[in-house]
Amino acid sequence: MKNISKNVSLVFLLSILCACTGTDSDLKGFPLSHQQILKHLRTANEVAKEAVKSGYYPFGAVLVAPDGETVLMKQENLGTIEHAETELSRRAFAKYDSDYLWSCTLVTTFEPCCMCAGNIYWANIGNVVYGATETTLKKMTGDNKMNPTMNLPCRRVFKAGQKPIRVVGPFPELEDELVAPHRAFWKR
Ligand SMILES: [Zn+2]
> Measured between alpha carbons, how far is 98 from 43 in angstroms, rounded to an integer?
24
The per-residue pLDDT for 93 is 98
Distance from residue 11's CA to the centre of ligand 1 (Å): 33
Residue 187: CB atoms within 10 Å: 9
Q: What residues have CB less than 8 Å from 97, skipping those under 6 apart?
A: none
The per-residue pLDDT for 23 is 53
The per-residue pLDDT for 184 is 81
Nearest to 129 by CA among 178, 185, 163: 178
Q: Is the dihedral of CA 129, 131, 136, 140 positive or negative?
A: negative
Distance from residue 114's CA to the centre of ligand 1 (Å): 6
Distance from residue 14's CA to the centre of ligand 1 (Å): 29
Distance from residue 64's CA to the centre of ligand 1 (Å): 18
The per-residue pLDDT for 19 is 46
Is there a contact between 166 and 30 (Cβ–Cβ < 8 Å)? yes
Kindly list the protein residues that place their beta carbon closer than 5 angstroms to ligand 1, a single-atom ion.
83, 113, 115-116
The residues pairing with 60 across neighbouring beta strands, listed in sequence order, are 76
Annotation marks residue 85 as catalytic = yes
Nearest to 117 by CA among 65, 73, 54, 169: 169
Q: What is the mean pLDDT of each run of 10 residues along the chain (188 residues)?
A: 54 48 72 98 98 97 98 97 98 98 98 98 98 93 89 96 97 96 85
User: Active site residue: 46, 76, 85, 173, which one?
Assistant: 85
> Measured between alpha carbons, how far is 125 from 100 in angstroms, rounded to an integer?
8
